[in-house]
Structure 1
Amino acid sequence: MSRRDRIVVTLLLGIPLLIDIAFVWVPALGTVLLSFFKWNGVGSLSTKTCQPNLPSILNNGCVDGIQNFHQAATNYPSFWPAVWHNLIWLGVFVFIATPLGMLFAVVIDRGIKGSRMYQSILFLPVMLSLALVGIIWEFMYSQNLGLINTVIGRNGSNNAIDWLGDPHLNLWAVLVEATWRQSGYVMVLYLAGLKAVDPTLREAARVDGANAWDTFWRVIFPVMRPINIVIMVVTVIESLRAFDLVYITNKGINGLELLSVLVTSNIVGETQRVGFGSALGVVLLVISLVPICIFLYQTFRREETR
């Protein structure tokens, strides 16, 4: 390899690496560091210990240890509801959105008539921003003029359903929006995996007398293990970083508390508790890493035992 080639390779690899470090790893490590400080975003961090009896200006930037995490778990009413809502969001994505996307992919992959049109329609929500998806569904859920209340005959009446205002309904209403988009995303990933499967495997299964159900679950699905890993990781990340839809609906309050919204409201909101918000961000990071690490460990362990 010539000197010029080495320079080109170094630039092609080094520039993206530097960008990744600057915009991903440095903020992530900075968030972990700030989670141990009591800081409101003004002034510099110091190494002095927080003293409850000092004025707030003197406590700005002091080392807080694990007090931010302790406060979140014990003295922050929105914390545990947000954790529970994030787990519900993850469960809906895993057990409803992902199987639904897989079903769409399998049906379209069979080459039904109009499959390209169906694929485009199902993929359309993925092309839209989450903010626009939320606005579209606000018209659907509108209490007085919404399509859903109109269809069920409760539009403009005294018993019209407030889908986004009722704390017992709004989480599930927003989850319908999120599932509508996520299923199309999963469909595209599974379609890519199905197209990469060797056609001879299907032919061999057909010769052996396997039906379509057995062919998919016993032959096709195991071959798509790399795609399953990608989808699992993407599903966990998408469910735990959910923000746009709930923030558009009611700013993540009144039954729609999520960790991502709490992080934003504490760091850039009126309170501007950067240290406390960073601690919530670390909690969100740990929660997202746990299922991903367990899944990857189990998957690669099965690969090694074969």
Structure 2
Amino acid sequence: MRGSRSVPSKAAGRAGRRGPRRFTRRDTIVLGVLLGIPVLLEAVIVWGPTLASIGLSFTSWDGIGDIQWVGGKNYESLVDNYPAFWPAVRHNLLWIAFLGLVATPFGLLLAVLIDRGVRFSRFYQSVLYMPVVLSLAVVGFMAQLLLGTDQGVINTALGNESDPIDWLGNSDLNIWMMMIAASWRHTGYVMILYLAGLKSVDPALKEAAAIDGANTRQTFFRVVFPTLRPVNVIVGVITVIEALRAFDIVYAVNKGRNGLELLSVLITDNIIGEASRIGFGSAIAVVLLTVSLGFIVTFLVQELRGARDR
């Protein structure tokens, strides 16, 4: 019996003294392939064009002739002599505000209602998530069918066949209609993210809050919502990205003109349009990159500071 006891102890001692496992040549090759391919693809697809755009933004190039260095003239012309630039900036900022202050809270509200176990919750969840599978271009075509002046559903329902409201042609209305259409898709995405976060909240926290006398509203804002901080970070970043990359929905309606100017549309018009001003279009792309990074980095820093202070 003593001998049998000493064998495991010796084996355990040898296991404790055993150093870290060394990778074989095969392991190194496998790790190199698994890590190298994604890094290479990201460098080629993401960072390569990004750095190229930054460099080209200081040049004048039509895509065929020689590249000429112009310094900051593209940015000066963009700010001072390009009438569509500032309306596009305002529209992008308005898009961020609308998705962040209207669509995102509405998606959170839907998630809370479904999480409480209302009847037919599975049906509601499926119906509200369905728009997420549609591209914004399809949403734009659907908006044309609903809001068009020629037998549009909305004008027909309002009885305005003889004098229809130009929802898409009126520059004072079309930007709001497009943001509502984009919010229809964005709300379902936000709802699913928050619903997943609500399912992971410990029920004991709610029970403890109820015992302390907190009502439903106090329980949500003081107990449940603070625990959703990781989801808030994801939703905030996605909202900014969705707002700044909006392109196909306005391009499908009127090619992003007449009140629907966005920075993404200006980039496309200048780079692949008839003008082929690649350097100038790259300058707009750098502005869009700077705005997006400014929002996302600021939001992430604030959330990380809040998580560290807790």
Tell me whether the two structures share a fold, i.e. TM-score over 0.5. Answer: yes
Equivalent-residue separation in structure 2 for 1:240 and 1:207 (angstroms): 44
In the alignment, does 2:276 pair up with 1:272?
Answer: yes
Alignment of 1:105-144 (within 5 A): 105-144=111-150
User: How many residues are matched?
Assistant: 288
Where does residue 195 of structure 1 map in the other structure?
199
Change (3 A) 1:6 1:208: farther
Of 239-248 and 140-149, more deviation after overlay is shown by 140-149
Counterpart of 2:43, as a letter, is I
Equivalent-residue separation in structure 1 for 2:33 and 2:203 (angstroms): 40
Q: CA deviation at 1:99?
A: 0.3
Equivalent-residue separation in structure 1 for 2:203 and 2:32 (angstroms): 40
- Of 39, 60, 73 in structure 1, the residue corresponding to residue 61 of structure 2 is 39
The TM-score with structure 2 as length reference comes to 0.90
Where does residue 248 of structure 1 map in the other structure?
252
Where does residue 151 of structure 1 map in the other structure?
157
Q: CA deviation at 1:32?
A: 0.6
SS in 1 for 2:165: coil
Structure 2 residues not aligned, in runs of 5+:
1-22
SS in 1 for 2:261: coil
Where does residue 8 of structure 1 map in the other structure?
30
Equivalent-residue separation in structure 2 for 1:304 and 1:199 (angstroms): 24
Alignment of 1:210-229 (within 5 A): 210-229=214-233
Equivalent-residue separation in structure 2 for 1:68 and 1:266 (angstroms): 12
Equivalent-residue separation in structure 2 for 1:33 and 1:214 (angstroms): 52
In the alignment, does 2:40 pair up with 1:18?
Answer: yes
Of 200-209 and 123-132, more deviation after overlay is shown by 200-209
Equivalent-residue separation in structure 2 for 1:6 and 1:148 (angstroms): 62
- Percentage of matched positions with identical amino acids: 54
Q: CA deviation at 1:289?
A: 1.3
Where does residue 56 of structure 1 map in the other structure?
none
Give the ranges of 4+ consecutive aligned residues of structure 1 lying more than 4 Å apart after TM superposition. none
Equivalent-residue separation in structure 2 for 1:70 and 1:127 (angstroms): 40
Equivalent-residue separation in structure 2 for 1:198 and 1:43 (angstroms): 63
Alignment of 1:165-176 (within 5 A): 165-176=169-180
Aligned Cα root-mean-square deviation (Å): 1.2
Superposed CA deviations along residues 109-134 of structure 1, whole A, max 9, x for unmatched, are 11111111111111111101111111
Q: CA deviation at 1:268?
A: 0.4
The TM-score with structure 1 as length reference comes to 0.91
Equivalent-residue separation in structure 2 for 1:121 and 1:218 (angstroms): 30
Equivalent-residue separation in structure 1 for 2:37 and 2:286 (angstroms): 27
Equivalent-residue separation in structure 2 for 1:199 and 1:6 (angstroms): 45
Q: CA deviation at 1:10?
A: 2.3
In the alignment, does 2:309 pair up with 1:305?
Answer: yes
Q: CA deviation at 1:304?
A: 3.0
Where does residue 78 of structure 1 map in the other structure?
84
SS in 1 for 2:242: helix
- Of 162, 168, 182 in structure 1, the residue corresponding to residue 166 of structure 2 is 162
Alignment of 1:48-59 (within 5 A): none
Where does residue 184 of structure 2 map in the other structure?
180
In the alignment, does 2:294 pair up with 1:290?
Answer: yes
* Higher radius of gyration, 1 or 2: 2
Counterpart of 1:11, as a letter, is V
